[in-house]
Structure 1
Amino acid sequence: MFWYGHDVSGWGWFAMSAGMVVFWALIITVGVLLFRAVNRPDEHIRTPAAPQTPEQVLAERFARGEIDDEEYRRRLNVLRTGPLTKP
């Protein structure tokens, strides 16, 4: 098989070994990237959020500190009892 001095030198063995490592690294990288692309949730499709009730919006404003305790309770009372109308 290796007659007449056509054998692979030390650099040839190194090149084959390095080539094999690079080849398998590329195969594994492509496999991982393909797996991640197929299994990730679709980021572009968004389901619309359920509409918030007025009480939830008021509670969020109170939690953020936009309104104080007195105003929160007053507005919550108005929401639950209905608007005050003058006869």
Structure 2
Amino acid sequence: MRNLVQIVKNHIRQSDVVVRMGGDEFLIILRGCPPEKAEEITRKILSDFEKSRFHPTFSYGIYPFTGSLNETLVKVDELMYRMKEGKKRGSV
């Protein structure tokens, strides 16, 4: 797990935040980061995950923080689970 967290830290700014939500779920807060840049960062993290010796799966959701924290967390969680379901069916 430490190696995977290090991969994430290698691609985010010092001012960004990584929070373990529980189990194998993490929240990465990229303050002031446009969605396009967040997508680019996510692709780089995913690429490094695929190169790691553990080959972990990686589902994510990107959502701009525009409302309350709770509202944003719900939206990101929904997006992440949609991606997980898509992978189960063989699509991303």
TM-score bucket of the superposed structures, by smaller chain: under 0.3
Larger relative contact order, structure 1 or 2 (CA cutoff 8 Å, min sep 6): 2
Larger of the two Rg values belongs to structure: 1
More strand by share: 2
Provide the TM-score with structure 1 as the length reference. 0.26
More helix by share: 1
Provide the TM-score with structure 2 as the length reference. 0.25
